Chain A
């Protein structure tokens, strides 16, 4: 179920959303018209140092009053507005998408080395679990998620994503089984700088969820994908592991392979697996994760979901289907299939 595609321009040259819309629409067979979404990095250069907080409001009365109050207590709202949307015949507007550009008060958080991020993370967790009728679905700097229930092209047109220009784009076409029709259930999932699109199902969700919850995250989206964002935030941001190592922790080599490795590598991987056993992700999945510095794609350890990589100069594409990549970039030079569990990494080079 589901189709995914992601692209990065490593020179940070920005692309508008029109071609990814087409590529995603090409994979309509993989979805069911009940959810699609996009995330783009670099779209808010005027507010680059603010957290761009995207919220679905059920109405602009109680929920918004409460969110306003919470945000104004913990920081300064530099600017806010309704996210422009354009009515589509095939898409019912269930929520009012809103955006805040927010700067947290650094001195209000104690006991952390990264007060801004931890403050915003805590606000997201707390608003999503306590304020009825409000759901923060995007909270990073200079990036934004745009998602809804509907076919990819309807969702893209609803937000007019061709109006946004980013150097990284991820997109997702959903075939829901669990929370159909719920906007919050559409991908990408985002927390702070981390965005995730995911094809498949995480059979280890219960274990992963308990692990992130014991490390201070609340799972509020009723779906297994959000846990990936939290795992990347925990291992990548809080524990400082490089992306490759995060992927290795989530989809490590098998013990019989590790046993055969040279001593130093064996010790490293054994220690990694023992430390991050509860973070190991099982089940069929292909995932692309983005941060402002790049994207990383990987599959489960026995390659139960497809993943194809394309390259053309400064651009790296990762998708469920080669055709989607060729739709985006007919000139694509290299196409290959990564090994199971092997991270495919595209980093910003400037």
Chain B
């Protein structure tokens, strides 16, 4: 007790002249900020997470939220956050758990990259007038065409390995049922089916209400093997082995028992209320040849009909690791950058471990090219992709497609308050409480997510057209069409791009 309390994170105030006491704020806040006493709405700002649910539901715009309402003595090193973390840990002796992605103020490389456009020497293309191809195939590509000549005809000998066909290079990343609600997952599933792309199931099995959309899912097999059986593997259009996650490289995950409700327990195939623990490594993968064995085991189980992806966190040696994966029969490697989101991660990992996705894409693409094995795997980038420009830049750096996660949740209402791990998400996303889950109507939710994907697809088409490209193959790895703005030489060398003006 001697430490006392720390200042409020947020301060909520109500403009009493505007307020009509409709009580929507009271009803909507799942954190208990509002209560009614003697016909008056009382506020407990300390409980506020800045999720904005009350603000978005207030018909009179009567609610105001102020971040950090109390000043500390300013200090460049001992920020308020640094001081509060110390106080928290002095009080509890525990690891600090945080939600959403990396919250440290690292420079964002995407924002230091600029795209090219045509002027005079080549014409830009208007995607509304002229053909524009964003179709993307994910999977192994042959190194060369094998054929036999037959009286002037060509008979193809090459048989393509199974590839996923995407209408747009935007997919939705793995967020498990359990981490997010069924209505949230259902909204995402309907959206990818509408937009001709795919979503990841996460490590949580597949709930039967997702079955109608299973042809648009990539089923995940992670270290906990939750919900994994032969039926599950056969349902997915592809299978993804999750080795690591950008938000917390090198550690596993724990779905707290309170999120394991009856339905989650059934989908994951674990007892009600028990912690679902995903170990840090796969305990049948302690070396690269073990990964190859798991890849082949999954292919063998599904009769070599499905592409197998391998997801790793972007760590220092990501390029060499990806080159190892490319030799394993895997069809795609997923690289998750250190700004990737998560339901829960130890803060010290979230903010300090891993490397940014931009550098990881460039390094991996370069290494695979250098070794002449770029065709053996597709490269999927994820972790902190916020808009169509980030996607276009990722592809120009060498990615085949991207996964988005947080952005798709924002399309469902998420305001990035970062309290996902508490299971009280007032938007009905990161929660299993039925009254909160019901706040998402999957029809409306899927419409919003599909709108986002369509809007970004359109923007990518416009950016490509402006650069005089009518096929996404010609954007991929086309680093000539990127320039670095205020990036240091070391990073320009890694990204293999020139500075602006060069």
The answer for the CA separation of A26 and B54 in the assembled complex, in Å, is 75
Question: B151 in the interface, Cβ–Cβ < 8 Å?
Answer: no
Stretch at the interface among B5-13, B86-94, B464-472: B464-472
A206 with B481: CB separation less than 8 A: yes
Question: A245 in the interface, Cβ–Cβ < 8 Å?
Answer: yes
The answer for the CA separation of A255 and B476 in the assembled complex, in Å, is 17
The answer for the CA separation of A304 and B125 in the assembled complex, in Å, is 10
Closest to B139 in A: A274
Question: Per-position contact with B for A196-216: 1 when CB-CB < 8 Å, else 0?
Answer: 000011011111011001111
Question: B374 in the interface, Cβ–Cβ < 8 Å?
Answer: yes
Chain A residues near B143 (CB, 8 Å)?
Answer: 275
Question: Per-position contact with B for A108-133: 1 when CB-CB < 8 Å, else 0?
Answer: 00000000000000000000000000
Question: A1 in the interface, Cβ–Cβ < 8 Å?
Answer: yes
B122 with A204: CB separation less than 8 A: no
Question: A45 in the interface, Cβ–Cβ < 8 Å?
Answer: no
Q: Which of B118, B137, B145 is within 8 Å of A272, CB to CB?
A: B145
- Chain B at the A interface: SS class: loop
Interface size on B, residues (CB 8 A): 41
Question: A163 in the interface, Cβ–Cβ < 8 Å?
Answer: no
Question: Per-position contact with B for A228-255: 1 when CB-CB < 8 Å, else 0?
Answer: 0000000000110110010000000011
Question: Per-position contact with B for A1-15: 1 when CB-CB < 8 Å, else 0?
Answer: 100000000000000
The answer for the CA separation of A280 and B471 in the assembled complex, in Å, is 9
A214 with B372: CB separation less than 8 A: yes
B156 with A274: CB separation less than 8 A: no
A280 with B156: CB separation less than 8 A: no
B135 with A206: CB separation less than 8 A: no
Question: Per-position contact with A for B185-204: 1 when CB-CB < 8 Å, else 0?
Answer: 00000000000000000000
Enumerate A268-295 residues with CB–CB distance to B below 8 Å.
Answer: 268, 270-278, 280-284
Q: Known contacts A254-B133, A302-B125, A304-B123; is A203 also within 8 Å of B156 by CB?
A: no
Chain A residues near B470 (CB, 8 Å)?
Answer: 282, 301-302
Q: Which of A1, A239, A267 is within 8 Å of B156, CB to CB?
A: A267
The answer for the CA separation of A281 and B122 in the assembled complex, in Å, is 13
Enumerate B469-497 residues with CB–CB distance to A below 8 Å.
Answer: 469-471, 473-481
Chain B residues near A284 (CB, 8 Å)?
Answer: 122-123, 468
A271 with B142: CB separation less than 8 A: yes
Closest to B131 in A: A254
B142 with A207: CB separation less than 8 A: no
The answer for the CA separation of A238 and B143 in the assembled complex, in Å, is 12
Closest to B122 in A: A201
Q: Known contacts A267-B156, A268-B154, A302-B131; is A204 also within 8 Å of B145 by CB?
A: no
Task: Tell me the smallest distance from the CB of B412 to a CB of chain A, in Å.
Answer: 31
Chain B residues near A215 (CB, 8 Å)?
Answer: 372
Task: Tell me the smallest distance from the CB of B364 to a CB of chain A, in Å.
Answer: 13
Chain A residues near B283 (CB, 8 Å)?
Answer: none
Chain A residues near B144 (CB, 8 Å)?
Answer: 238-239, 275
B122 with A203: CB separation less than 8 A: yes
Chain B residues near A205 (CB, 8 Å)?
Answer: 478, 480
B154 with A177: CB separation less than 8 A: no
Question: B141 in the interface, Cβ–Cβ < 8 Å?
Answer: yes
The answer for the CA separation of A216 and B371 in the assembled complex, in Å, is 10
Question: A331 in the interface, Cβ–Cβ < 8 Å?
Answer: no
Q: Known contacts A206-B481, A215-B372; is A268 also within 8 Å of B156 by CB?
A: yes
Task: Tell me the smallest distance from the CB of A176 to a CB of chain B, in Å.
Answer: 10
Question: A81 in the interface, Cβ–Cβ < 8 Å?
Answer: no
Enumerate B436-482 residues with CB–CB distance to A below 8 Å.
Answer: 467-471, 473-481
Task: Tell me the smallest distance from the CB of B349 to a CB of chain A, in Å.
Answer: 34
A210 with B145: CB separation less than 8 A: no
Question: A46 in the interface, Cβ–Cβ < 8 Å?
Answer: no
B474 with A204: CB separation less than 8 A: yes
Chain A residues near B474 (CB, 8 Å)?
Answer: 203-204, 207, 280-283
Task: Tell me the smallest distance from the CB of A177 to a CB of chain B, in Å.
Answer: 6
The answer for the CA separation of A216 and B143 in the assembled complex, in Å, is 13
Q: Known contacts A215-B372, A254-B131, A270-B160; is A278 also within 8 Å of B477 by CB?
A: yes
Question: A256 in the interface, Cβ–Cβ < 8 Å?
Answer: yes
Chain B residues near A275 (CB, 8 Å)?
Answer: 141-145, 158, 375
Listed residue (A200, A206, A276, A281) with the most chain B CB atoms within 10 angstroms of its CB:
A206
Interfacial residues, chain A to chain B (CB-CB below 8 A)? 1, 177, 200-201, 203-207, 209-210, 213-216, 238-239, 241-242, 245, 254-256, 267-268, 270-278, 280-284, 301-302, 304
Task: With A201-B468, A207-B476 given, name 8 new contacts (CB 8 A).
Answer: A205-B478, A207-B478, A271-B156, A274-B160, A275-B158, A282-B469, A283-B468, A283-B474
Q: List 9 A-B contacts (CB under 8 A).
A: A206-B480, A207-B475, A215-B372, A238-B144, A239-B145, A254-B133, A267-B156, A274-B142, A275-B142
9 nearest A-B pairs in the assembled complex, by CB-CB distance: A206-B480, A204-B474, A206-B478, A282-B474, A277-B473, A203-B468, A214-B369, A207-B478, A201-B122
